[in-house]
Amino acid sequence: MAYLAGSVFSNLPSLGCPVVDRTGLDGIYDFSLKLFDPGSANGEAGPKGDMLGQMDSGLSASLKDLGLKMESRKSPVEILVIDHVERPSEN
């Protein structure tokens, strides 16, 4: 579940924020997520008007089928800030 939250959901641009696993579930699980209907992604607008809208509704439906849900919360996250860069010296 941590991989799902950290790697998959955090890379969905429509979420706009990091996703943290708070399920407490360990182990490996085998399931499928249907984020959008490929039949309506052929250049036409989907039911919500665009593919990102389809992904949002598809994600919610897939999580509900698994007995999971996403909640918006404030939580500390690690970030890396680079405030200065120099070229290496020629030793």
User: What domain count does the chain have?
Assistant: 1
Closest CA to 53 of 68, 67, 35: 35
Token couple for 25:
């579930």
Query: 3-class SS at 19?
Result: coil
Whether residue 85 is contained in a domain is answered as no
Per-residue pLDDT tens over the stretch 69-84: 878 888 787 889 999 9
CB 1 within 8 A of CB 29: yes
pTM of the model: 0.50
Give the range of the structural domain holding residue 34, as residue numbers without chain letter. Answer: 2-66
Q: Which long-range contacts (CB under 8 A, 24 or more apart) does 66-71 make?
A: 66/31, 68/23, 70/9, 70/19
**Residue 50: exposure state from Cβ atoms within 10 A (0-12, 13-18, ≥19):** middle
Residue pLDDT, tens place only, 6-63: 776 666 666 677 777 888 888 888 887 776 666 654 445 444 456 666 666 677 778 8
- Look at residue 17 and tell me if it is in a domain: yes
Is there a domain that residue 72 lies in? no
